[in-house]
Amino acid sequence: MSRPLYVNGFGLHCIWGGDKERVFQKLTRGERGVFTMHDVAGVMRPVATIDPDTLPPVENAEFDNRVNRLNRAALDQIDDLVRRTVEKFGSSRVGIFMGSCDNGSEASLAALKCFKATGKFPEGYKLEYQCAEFPARYIAERFGITGMCQVHSTACASSASAFVSARNNIYAGNCDAAIVGGVDIASLSVILGFASLEAMSDKPTNPFSKNRSGLTLGDAAVYFLVTRENCPDLCESYCEGLRVLGFGESADADHITAPRADGEGAYLAMSAALEDAGLDASAIGYVNLHGTGTRLNDSMEARAVNRLFGGNVPVSSTKAITGHTLGASGALEAAFCCMALTHGGNLPAHLYDGVPDPELPALNLAKPGETAPGLRYCISNSFAFGGCNVSLVIGKE
C-alpha cells in the first residue's frame, strides 16, 4: 500500500541563490554557479561557497552562525506556510526531520585557534555549536515547535534519509506534518577531509566524463513542508499535486568510503523506491543522479541505472552546477525534481565536458534545454559513504 507524503511547499538556497525560478533556469541551461578557489594544502580547488555576509543574520543571536544563516535564507521562503501548519495541527504535532554532515566544526576550529593563542576560548563559545541538532534547535525555536525532532548524519544521504524518517513517523501517528530537509556548508574541516581522501578535483566536477577527477563541494539549505493528507488550505500553488511516492534504502556495508563497485546497493535502493511507489521502472521519466564526479561513484551508479532503466531515460547530475552540498544534497535534488515536474518536463541539464567514458554503460545525459513531455515521475538518488543508499520517487498528480 502506497504511503506518500504531500509536498505543500519548499524553500532553498544554494550557490545560485534562493529564487526558485532563477535557480531552475540556471539548471535547465546548464549554467555553473560561481565557484571560489581555495588553497588546500598547496593545491587550488574550486568550492561553491556562499558568503555568509550576503545572508540575513539569524533573529536570535544565540543561533547566529554560517549554517543557520543558510537555514534562515531557505526557511524565510516557507515561513508563513510553516506558521499556518503549526496553527492548524498544533506545535506538538509538527515534526522536524533534517540531515547535515558538518554544521559546527568551523566554530570549534576558530575557538581552538583562539585557545591556543590566548589560553581561553572566545567569549560566548559553546561546544554545543558543534552538536548535530544545533540547526534543528534553531528551527524549533523559530517556529515554536515542540514536536519530535530527528537529525540524520548519514553523510551525503542525510537529508534523503530524513524524508524516510518523516514518512515513517507521520504514518506511525507521531506527527501530522513535518519540516524535512537539510543544510550543509563546505567548512575547512570538510574540505580538508575530502582532499585527504583524494576525492576533490582541482577543477569543477565533471560527472560521468572519461576525464572526471573528483567532486566539488558546495553550500546549501533546503526545507520542505510535508503532510500525510492533501491539505488544499496549506499547499502553495507551485506545489499542487506534488507527492513523494516512494522511499527506498539499502546498505552496502562494503567499504567505509567506497561504494560497492557493481552498483548492487544503488540498484536495490532504486528498486525498493519503485516498489514502494507501486511503479514499474518504465514509469520514470527522469533520474537525478547522485553523480559526484568521482571515479568509483559514477562507475557504480552508471551500472545500476542502466541495469534498471536502460540507456534511454533522461538523467543528469546537477552537482557540476551547484557543487556537492553533502547532507543537503538529497533535499536539494528532490526540489529539482519537483521543479521539473511543475515546469512542463523541462529537465536539469547534465553539465560536463562532453567526453563520455567508454568503460561505463550508456546513459542518456540530458542536454541544456531538453524536455521530457508528459513527465509524471522522477527518481532522485543519494548514495553516501558507508554504502548508505537512498532513492526517492517524486510524482505529480
> Would you please indicate which residues are annotated as catalytic (active-site) residues?
156, 290, 324
- From the number of C-beta atoms within 10 Å of its C-beta (0-12, 13-18, 19+), residue 139 rates as buried
CB atoms within 10 A of CB 365: 21
Count Cα atoms within 13 angstroms, Cβ side, for 19: 5
C-alpha cell belonging to residue 188? 575547512
93 conformational bin, left if phi > 0, alpha if psi -120 to 50, beta if neither: alpha
C-alpha cell belonging to residue 244? 513523494
C-alpha cell belonging to residue 253? 556495508
C-alpha cell belonging to residue 99? 540531515
Q: Number of helices (H) and strands (E) in the chain: give both, helices first.
A: 11, 13
The three state secondary structure string of 204-262 is CCCCCECCCCCECEECEEEEEEEECCCCCCCCCHHHCCEEEEEEEEEECCCCCCCCCCC
| Calpha distance 314→370 (Å, rounded) | 9
Q: Residue 186: helix, strand or coil by DSSP?
A: coil
| Calpha distance 250→54 (Å, rounded) | 39
Longest alpha-carbon distance in the chain = 64
| Calpha distance 343→30 (Å, rounded) | 16
| Calpha distance 129→319 (Å, rounded) | 28
C-alpha cell belonging to residue 274? 519503485
C-alpha angle 75/225/170, rounded to 5°?
Answer: 140
